[in-house]
Structure 1
């Protein structure tokens, strides 16, 4: 130790000696910049490097260190400027410490898990486009679950900038889309960690993660791109990123959370990283390529916001599909140490098709593992969850039990917290927001200190994050948790206060007071069904499932564990069931009816589904005159089948009661999802061609092979098919 101290003193003495010698030289001023700085830097850098790493290893925050973080990283490349290679080493080290741990559904107060220990490779594919998808995200997951994995070529997160075999194109900007909780942010984290550890993408010298939820906090600022980076990453102040000689990657995570006005039609053109402008102008010019045209750009987004960036600015669109079936099992075996228990949990989830489909979403896997591991390992009483509502209600109870075990803030009542968080969840769900700021919380009567308490007590439900710019951001751990709490708020508002949450009293209190009060639970359900069906993007679909599921007696029993008073209200379940069936009968869109069947499932009514399954098993489906409700049920059964949608054979459904054209029109959602459409000698005419043309134009289009031989479609039918083939979304490869 004494030797090290003397070494440090000797270095300081040498630096001082060099300084005196230079000062005594007549031309000391001219050689200060070149000579003195060079010698001092050379003398200091080993001392700094040793000192930095000794501090790092002894710091209290270094308990979660990657086992591979001590491997050598090539930092020989330096940037134009006054810094040394140590600056880049510091930058890499800081990113490594920030991204090496995974906080699965928790804030950073809990026990983290090393990302490399639990990371399960996600299924990522190259997508057709970045166009908007108007289906509810759970519906998108259900659609993807039926698609054969052989249709697309998978891409790992580290390869998203590399062309696929046979592709010859330069990729500068990548847009990665995926539903909430599917693994977009974890993919970003994995790429950054692998780079920081020196494993992948070492041709990139700098990676700047800039999440939109943190950039939002600077939306009113005017500054240069260099200044923006210095705010987020102060250690880069001496780095010159403007040279085309160096490769830089910017990562903008969460485009759907952006609250800036991204105007890509603006005439404002920025080409200098030192030129000041609004933050939204900086981002648009960077994405377009006016600023740092050689920089790589990676943007992630939920599908509903994917079109905020014009397609001409994007060179590749990828889609995170979450876990395929083998990856689901791999996750549970990694997540649960008791392998026999993991097998039991996997078997239980497979027994419920709706739950196993949801396991495509990694966050849902985590929720299911959390609930089922505790219930099955401790032999707790009560029914094992078989529906989404049951699973999420058990999860909420589990989290409030954890809250009660904490030693602080015992004055916070579960009822108050759940109602306030539920109000926030409902109001923001209606607006389409997943992240919230302090002004959003104040609108719901939640003060900043109160929000901090809630996030501390329920870290796996509601989360507070401190941005790099020291602003606070709040969010629910996942959209589905927000939807469940929103439904619980709507249910409890009626049961406890006899109030209909869909009526806003502030706009016209006297006019709406009667409608807002004295509403039965069945009436509330009917209002919610109508609201969900009118939604263009289905954003209330899962909320509706939860709302109906909460009305069951089994849910009421669970809620009594959660709340001292749940209220009471007269309720006739059969009235709601009949209303759903009437809507299915009258609804002209089979796609929109699918969620209503999920709602019937939550209510425990499978009568329509059972009828169709009996017809299919007995082979009588061809000879049965199906009602509109039964056609919708047939679509639901076929689309939720465990079998992959590869081949659609029209003859299986044509009989004395059903014509080819009628079947094609009624089963169009099934046709759209099929890869091979077999229609040979079925009697398809002009009306059937209209349905087929619609399927060919669908976005995305999955039909690759269609056999229409021995059908008299006529010239008009051929014209319709030709229009479908000309559509840019059509991917048909073979037509007979």
Structure 2
């Protein structure tokens, strides 16, 4: 058995198209060729492989070589609370932070990641102690801007006391963050998460200088020992790289008018130029099948808001008339939600709307959820909103009962992700059609199927539907307990 831990950190990524076939175990070959052929099953075909990687990097491996896939989601709500109470000695402060996270869908969703809990605790601890602050950050962009400010303040207080009177930012920190941002963005485009010392030097980042900024760089980078004894660095979490990349792209656009997302410079009027800049980022992220630019785009959209731009005062000289494109972006994203056939992509776009402080579709769907049964057929946007609300709810569904949604023939197709995320699903009076069985069979045959009870009374399946359903029921992974 081979265990490949952190496959996404391999440099360069695996190439399954051009790597030659290798079957001879004694033939000398490169690490990449050996790895690819172990995964293909060409080399040591009876070997077992266990591979860990970040979700965004799973698509490195073609699906035909994957037998089963498991997602480990991180902290439960209970573990989040435990973390904050242990991390912060002040019990009242910890309670305030836990309460605030509970009111913010964006922060609550991200806090299942342990590192994100650390970032959140670092920021909210400082913000709550600052008597001048009246509002706590609610979105990811706000939080990460505050995180950056906290790091720079700590660094200035410890190493540069003479610049405290000149504001948070100075020419040295501005230069370093632009260099860091350029590294973050260009390496993100190449899907690189790890960097050698020579990579940092190429971007003008001096390691010795960086070491004098422990609050900014030692916390941001971690150094690892590797076999060839070269110094290897990475950001503490991929989201920090994505935030710095978005900040760099935003600052370059604001200062020089260059759209690094499209690699172009436009002669359009300011408002049209802004629209093109943000729309190109949204469209490019949506073109990606694995969503690797989603978080980068989320931060970039967040930086379009005046409130977040104000938090960056001192890092760039703000002009008087910065076009506000929030309404246009919201409409553009909503149109993409309506047109998207993918539930997964729709959910990703709802996070973008949250970053723009737009919750109109969520509020609309909450009205439908207040009734005992969903009486009305929903539009594709409303179904997407419903799924987003259910999946990002603090409430974990121990049992998901389909009765509330049974009147719609499209319900099963849309609600499959919610049912898969619950511990136990019940399908009663489910208004199944022949087409519904196409979505029901994967639920029955899934390795970790949560479907326990199925009621087939008053359904219009036809012979084809029954054949499909029979296939699902015969599956050795079917865990159905009650069939009516």
- TM-score w.r.t. structure 2 length? 0.82
Report the Cα offset of residue 515 of structure 1.
7.7
Alignment partner for residue 483 of structure 1, among 228, 238, 242? 242
CA distance in 2, matches of 1:310, 1:685: 32
CA distance in 2, matches of 1:348, 1:325: 13
What's 2:465 paired with?
717
Q: Does 1:662 align with 2:401?
A: no
Report the Cα offset of residue 451 of structure 1.
4.6
Count of matched residue pairs = 465
CA offsets per residue over residues 97-153 of structure 1, 9 Å max, x none?
xxxxxxxxxxxxxxxxxxxxxxxxxxxxxxxxxxxxxxxxxxxxxxxxxxxxxxxxx
Structure 1 gaps, min length 5: 1-171, 176-251, 505-511
Alignment partner for residue 416 of structure 1, among 175, 187, 192? 175
Q: Does 1:628 align with 2:380?
A: yes
CA distance in 1, matches of 2:59, 2:284: 25
What's 2:306 paired with?
553
Report the Cα offset of residue 494 of structure 1.
1.6
CA distance in 2, matches of 1:627, 1:278: 52
Alignment partner for residue 495 of structure 1, among 254, 257, 264? 254
Alignment partner for residue 346 of structure 2, among 574, 578, 593? 593
CA offsets per residue over residues 247-299 of structure 1, 9 Å max, x none?
xxxxx6422111266979523424xxxx98755678899999x99x99x9986
The within-5 A match list for 1:381-420 is: 381-407=133-159, 413-420=172-179
Alignment partner for residue 267 of structure 1, among 9, 12, 23? 23
Cα 1:502–1:710 change in 2 (3 A) is same
Report the Cα offset of residue 727 of structure 1.
6.2
Alignment partner for residue 367 of structure 1, among 88, 113, 119? 119
Cα 1:452–1:726 change in 2 (3 A) is farther
CA distance in 2, matches of 1:316, 1:710: 35
CA distance in 1, matches of 2:125, 2:291: 32
Cα 1:725–1:425 change in 2 (3 A) is farther
* Other structure's SS at 1:436 match: strand
**Is the contact between residue 520 and residue 570 of structure 1 (CA under 8 Å) also seen in structure 2?**
no
* Other structure's SS at 1:473 match: strand
Report the Cα offset of residue 718 of structure 1.
1.0
The within-5 A match list for 1:179-578 is: 253-259=5-11, 266-270=22-26, 300-305=52-57, 320-407=72-159, 413-438=172-197, 440-441=199-200, 445-447=202-204, 450-454=206-210, 456-457=212-213, 458=216, 459-465=218-224, 467=226, 469-504=228-263, 512-514=264-266, 520-560=273-313, 562-566=314-318, 569-578=322-331
Report the Cα offset of residue 654 of structure 1.
4.4
Report the Cα offset of residue 643 of structure 1.
2.4
- TM-score w.r.t. structure 1 length? 0.56
CA offsets per residue over residues 563-586 of structure 1, 9 Å max, x none?
142456322321111111111122
CA distance in 2, matches of 1:515, 1:692: 52
The within-5 A match list for 1:9-28 is: none
Q: Does 1:684 align with 2:443?
A: no
What's 1:707 paired with?
455
What's 1:616 paired with?
369
Cα 1:361–1:731 change in 2 (3 A) is same
What's 1:62 paired with?
none
CA distance in 1, matches of 2:475, 2:466: 14
Whose radius of gyration is greater, 1 or 2? 1
**Is the contact between residue 454 and residue 462 of structure 1 (CA under 8 Å) also seen in structure 2?**
no
CA offsets per residue over residues 34-93 of structure 1, 9 Å max, x none?
xxxxxxxxxxxxxxxxxxxxxxxxxxxxxxxxxxxxxxxxxxxxxxxxxxxxxxxxxxxx
CA distance in 1, matches of 2:71, 2:381: 34
Q: CA RMSD in A?
A: 3.8
* Other structure's SS at 2:137 match: coil
Cα 1:264–1:405 change in 2 (3 A) is farther
Cα 1:628–1:298 change in 2 (3 A) is closer
Report the Cα offset of residue 641 of structure 1.
2.2
* Other structure's SS at 2:324 match: coil
Cα 1:254–1:650 change in 2 (3 A) is closer
CA distance in 2, matches of 1:490, 1:729: 47
Report the Cα offset of residue 480 of structure 1.
0.7
Report the Cα offset of residue 621 of structure 1.
3.6
CA distance in 2, matches of 1:600, 1:629: 13
What's 1:48 paired with?
none
CA distance in 2, matches of 1:375, 1:335: 16
Cα 1:309–1:664 change in 2 (3 A) is closer
Report the Cα offset of residue 394 of structure 1.
0.3
CA distance in 1, matches of 2:293, 2:381: 22
CA offsets per residue over residues 680-715 of structure 1, 9 Å max, x none?
344322122223234445676443443323423121
Structure 2 gaps, min length 5: 164-169
**Is the contact between residue 686 and residue 717 of structure 1 (CA under 8 Å) also seen in structure 2?**
yes
CA offsets per residue over residues 579-628 of structure 1, 9 Å max, x none?
11111122222221112222111111111111111222245741x34332
Cα 1:727–1:276 change in 2 (3 A) is same
The within-5 A match list for 1:161-180 is: 172-173=1-2, 175=3
Cα 1:467–1:690 change in 2 (3 A) is closer
Report the Cα offset of residue 719 of structure 1.
1.4
What's 2:167 paired with?
none
Report the Cα offset of residue 338 of structure 1.
2.1
* Other structure's SS at 1:626 match: coil
CA distance in 1, matches of 2:68, 2:448: 16
